[in-house]
Structures are given as C-alpha cells and as structure tokens.
Amino acid sequence: MATINTHTKVLLIYTGGTIGMVRDYDTGTLKAFDFKRLLKSIPELTQLNCQIDSVSFDTPIDSSNMNTTHWVAIASIIEEHYETHDGFVVLHGSDTMSHTSSALSFMLENLGKPVIFTGSQLPIGDLRTDAKENLITSVQIAALQEKDKPLIQEVALYFEYKLYRANRTTKINAEQFEAFASLNYPPLVESGVHLKVYNEHLLTNRQSKKFFVHKVLDNNVGLLRLFPGLNPSVLNSVLETPDLKALVLETYGAGNAPTDAWLISGLKEAIKNGLHIVSVTQCSGGSVLMGQYETSEQLKKMQIINGKDITTESALAKLMYLLGSNVSNKSFKTIFETALRGEMQ
Ligand code: ASP
C-alpha cells in the first residue's frame, strides 16, 4: 500500500505556462503569477503530509518557446536536487509538454524517482480552474512511497485525473480539460475517490543503477508528414537540408507510403548517404507494421528505421538524444528500435 511519509520532500519546478498565470479581471489579460505566492494561494497543498520546496525559471515562458536549452535547464535542476528530494513536479505549459517530458525521459537515465509534468487549461487564479486538482494530485503522486521507496520511478504526465507515461502522450485538445491522450499505453494512475495505481504498468529502476543526466542533445533533426500531393521538390528540399542527420517520416496507417519512384529513390539515396529516417504512423494510435502492405515493402527493404508505436514527440526527442550520445551509425537503427524508457512496444 503506497503512502506519504511526513519526511518526504517534493520539489516543484515552475517553467511557465497557463497554470502559473492569473487573470487581471479589469483588463481580461493573463499575466504571470508571483510563484512565491503559489503555495499560499493553494492552502490545500499544506494538507498533504509532505514538504514542498520550489524553484522557478528566472523568466517563466509560454511552452511554445521551449527549446533544448530549457530541457537541459530542467534536467540540471533535477540533477542538482536529486539526492535531497524524493520527487519532482514540473509545472509546464501544455502546448509542448509532451515534447519536453519525452525528452526528459531520455535525458534522465536510471531514474529512480518520480518526475511528474503537469499544467492546466485555465490559469490557477480562474474560478473554474483545472490547475488546482492537477497540481495537488501531481504533488500527492510524486510523494507516494512504498516500503520507503518512491512508487513512481519514471517521467510521467498528470492531467485531468490521469497519470500517463510521459513519452507516450500527445496533446489532443486545446479546449477540453482532458487535453492529453496516450493511445498506445494505458494510464499509470487514475484519480477518482481513491488513487488507483496500476503497478503492472509502471517502470522500475530495479537494478538501482546510478542516476545519470544526459545534457548533450543534437537537434539536427527534421519532421516530414506525408500527404497526397506531396511535391518532389519539397521532399528534396527537406532531404538536402544542410547538416540534417535524422528525419521522422510520418507515414500513413501502419507505416505505408506512396510507391512513386521519385519518393522511393529519394529516401533510399538519403539513407545511403547516412541520413537516419524513422517511420512513425501519422495515426494517433496503433503501430507501424513494416511489410504488412505492398506500400511499406520498399521502405522495409531500404532499412528505414521502424518507429513501431512511438509518438512523433518521442521519436524526435529520442533522435536528439541518440545523436547527442554519439551512437555509431552501425548500431543506430537497432538502438532506436529498442525500447529505452518504455516509449515503444
Ligand atoms: N500556451 C500555453 C503554453 O503551452 C498553454 C498552456 O499552458 O496550456 O505555455
């Protein structure tokens, strides 16, 4: 049975996003909240039986402005406080939360503590805000311990009563409170009258290997979504991008692509010249099944990387992480096709 011990320490990391904003009722505009006042304005947090500390980005940002430098900053804060805290809650805008949290899942190797991303659709100061529940339950989950060990030992994302494995999520709605989905992996925890933890879905750092933070990411990566009518010159301009090292190709359905000679030869040539191309499905759920249809046979033959059921967000982050880790060209495909943090089947 998971419980919260009074000595448990949770670190709140505030990066920005709607959650930390208040509405100026005179002008109707949203403005950044004084984060130091956050704990005071949510007295419910003090009822949780744990100690909550906080750090904030000097300049909180809308998550549309997130980049790899910010990812390194978040990872570094976690590294700095890893020994002193039992769990981490990252407050982040919802727009790119799946990207940042997927990246963090790769950057934090042998993670043995919870890193829970959360945010909200309405600012914390709004009457009908979803921020309070998201924040309070995230802290509660980050503080959960079983036999004196953190219950969650991975990067997760909590939104609207569900905790998901972060690198399985996608933002699917800009209007409803249920903004995220994880179509290829079930929730880790559901919050109702009780917190229902699905232990069988959790990742665990069983061998207690040493925690390590990867801070080198190589963003010479691209993304191309196939669509009927794709023009050869658009394909070529992408494939000929200077310094491009890897490309996520969003294919149709179970990994299918047109059989046009210009497309097949363009991709084949690029792979021969050293570009890593990953096929992911542009469907929200399901998996690439290379060779199931004639329209993916050619891709399979040219040794395109099989992204299986990975999300686009996670594929991009995994590429930046692997390119930054100097993985050899020979083993790149095999390593990409291996689940490193539960991000694919
Ligand atoms: N634009 C905001 C952001 O992602 C939206 C949000 O926080 O939900 O930072």
Exactly one of 18, 137, 251, 281 is catalytic; which is it?
Answer: 18
Atom of ligand 1 nearest to the CA of 63: 9
118 is catalytic: no
**What's the confidence (pLDDT) of residue 43?**
82
Looking at the chain, which residues constitute the CATH 3.40.50.1170 domain(s)?
Answer: 9-213
Is the CB of residue 118 below 6 angstroms from any atom belonging to ligand 1?
A: no
Q: What is the distance in A from the centroid of ligand 1 to the CA of 174?
A: 9
Q: Is any atom of ligand 1 closer than 6 Å to the C-beta of 63? A: yes
Q: Are 155 and 115 in contact (CB under 8 A)?
A: yes
Distance of alpha carbon 12 from alpha carbon 195, whole angstroms: 21
Residue nearest to atom 3 of ligand 1 (CA): 93
Q: From the CA of 139, how far away is ligand 1's center (Å)? A: 20
Q: How far apart are CA 105 and CA 114, in angstroms?
A: 11
Q: Whose CA is nearest to atom 8 of ligand 1?
A: 94
Lowest mean pLDDT of 36-45, 158-167, 222-231, name the range.
36-45
Name the DSSP class of 18. G
Domain with CATH 3.40.50.40 in the chain: 221-336
pLDDT one-digit tens code per residue, 198-231: 999 999 876 678 999 999 999 999 999 999 999 9
The answer to whether the CB of 301 falls within 8 A of the CB of 257 is no
Length of the chain: 345
Would the CB of 15 count as within 6 Å of ligand 1? Answer: no
Could you report the per-residue pLDDT of 87-124, keeping only the tens digit for each? Answer: 999 999 999 999 999 999 999 999 999 999 999 999 88
Instruction: State which CATH number among 3.30.1370.10, 3.60.15.10, 3.40.50.1170, 3.60.70.12 fits the domain covering 9-213.
Output: 3.40.50.1170
Closest-lying ligand 1 atom to the alpha carbon of residue 62:
9
Q: Which of 22, 63, 130 to mutate to test the pocket of ligand 1 (most atoms within 8 A of CB)?
A: 63
Angle among Cα 246, 247, 250 to the nearest 5 degrees reads: 155
- Distance in Å, CA 122 to ligand 1 centroid: 9
Q: What is the pLDDT of residue 39?
A: 67
Tell which atom from ligand 1 comes closest to the C-alpha of 97: 4
Q: Tell me the pLDDT tens digit for each residue of 245-286.
A: 999 999 999 999 999 999 999 999 999 999 999 999 999 999
CA nearest 52: which of 88, 15, 17?
88
pLDDT at 160 over 90: yes
Look at residue 35 and tell me whether its pLDDT is greater than 80. Answer: no
The residue whose CA is least distant from atom 7 of ligand 1 is: 93
**Check whether domain 221-336 has CATH 3.30.70.3420, yes or no:** no
Whether 93 lines ligand 1, by a CB cut-off of 6 Å, is yes
